[in-house]
Amino acid sequence: MILDDIKDCLGDSWRAMESLMESALHSDIDLLSLTNRNILTHSGKRIRPMLALLTASACAAPGEGCNMDSIKLAAASELLHNATLLHDDVADDSSQRRGRPTVLSVLGPSASVLIGDFWLVKAMECMLSISSYSEQAIRIFAKTLSDLAEGEMLQLEKSGAGDTVEDDYYRIIYCKTASLFEAAAVTAALSVDASEDMRNAVKDYAVNLGMAFQIRDDILDYEGDSSVGKPLGADLKERKITLPLLGALASVPEDEAAAMRLKVCAMAEHPEYEDVLRRFVHEKDGIGYAGARLAEFSANAVAAVRRLRPSAERDYMEALVSFISERNV
């Protein structure tokens, strides 16, 4: 698998990042330490630190690669990501994540929020400990936290009204997903004193990669494997209108689209509408519509990364685009 190849390419830098996270999350409170270890063991693909370390290596002077600041910032991106997931599980009342019980379902909402806070503080400590660009890195990650909150609130507002349009959708997925991809890549470039042209290239790459990642995730909500990841139809159950449904709505007259939007709003009282809406998306090729937008963002990411000088890390950054746009989990 390409992710294993990337980890092998990153070598000692990857292992140092994992070791740093483990040590940062240790506590003499047994319940906290055990829970943290369980989260780390099942923490998904770790795309964000992978992106950070690849970016640092691709932008560093030839023969230099990642440094300790790069490793700390990569760890910070993953710690921050998992902190937001722990909080999201409470907001969404999620009983499972990645096919396993959430901290919320095992220990309750208070523990999930507190452990999320702990991970967030550890991310901040990693940022504060870097030797240079610390203030810039903190400002970049602070913007991401603001984006995450705004994205969640906009999604909440739109899921209540059922009036999400495509521009709303793109703003939401930028705030909730692409913003952290951007922060991981840009701070990694800063850590190796990359040129402004390089920083701009990795910013464009990371934003487009993050947008593609979330669109693929939203497509999988309609056609994925329910035995892994989030359950099929999770977005509809939460009254979220994502790109496959938006594509289907765009293909029908306004009155039919309005009727479908009303069904989304009524999901809590009428769970049987889920099958109706899923059939509608498939019949109107909403998945094809979303797939076309996914291809556009993926192509933009590839074009951006090719602005960097050739290297093995750049090749892996390009390969990561294909993996994200084609993944089934």
Of all residues in the chain, the percent with pLDDT exceeding 90 is 88
Q: How far is CA 8 from CA 14, 40, 63, 261, in A?
A: 8, 19, 17, 47
Domain boundaries, the chain: 2-326
pLDDT of residue 323: 97
- Do residues 89 and 112 touch, judged by C-beta distance below 8 A? yes
pLDDT of residue 93: 85
Q: What is the mean pLDDT of residues 219-248?
A: 82
Burial classification of residue 57, based on how many CB atoms lie within 10 Å of its CB (0-12 exposed, 13-18 middle, 19 or more buried):
buried
Q: Model confidence at 108, in pLDDT bands (50, 70, 90)?
A: very high
At 97, which helix (H) or strand (E)? Answer: strand 96-97
CA atoms within 13 A on the CB side of 328: 3
- Do residues 159 and 239 touch, judged by C-beta distance below 8 A? yes
3-class secondary-structure state, position 287: helix
Q: Which of 115-129, 230-244, 287-301 has the lowest mean pLDDT?
A: 230-244
pLDDT of residue 91: 85
pLDDT of residue 227: 45
pLDDT of residue 178: 98
pLDDT of residue 329: 79
Q: In which residue are the tokens 């209108």 written?
A: 241
**Chain segment 36-71, per-residue pLDDT in tens:** 999 999 888 999 999 999 999 999 998 898 999 999
pLDDT of residue 230: 55
Q: Model confidence at 224, in pLDDT bands (50, 70, 90)?
A: low
pLDDT of residue 228: 47
Q: Which of 96-105, 171-180, 277-286 has the lowest mean pLDDT?
A: 96-105
Q: What is the mean pLDDT of residues 203-211?
A: 98
What would be the CATH architecture of the domain defined by 2-326? Orthogonal Bundle (1.10)
User: Given a cut of 90, is residue 177 above it in pLDDT?
Assistant: yes
- In the predicted model, what is the mean pLDDT of the chain? 94
User: Given a cut of 70, is residue 299 above it in pLDDT?
Assistant: yes
pLDDT of residue 26: 95
Rounded Cα gap, residues 5 and 211, in angstroms: 23
**What is the sign, positive or negative, of the torsion defined by CA atoms of 170, 172, 177, 179?**
positive
User: Given a cut of 70, is residue 142 above it in pLDDT?
Assistant: yes
User: Given a cut of 60, is residue 100 above it in pLDDT?
Assistant: yes
pLDDT of residue 1: 78
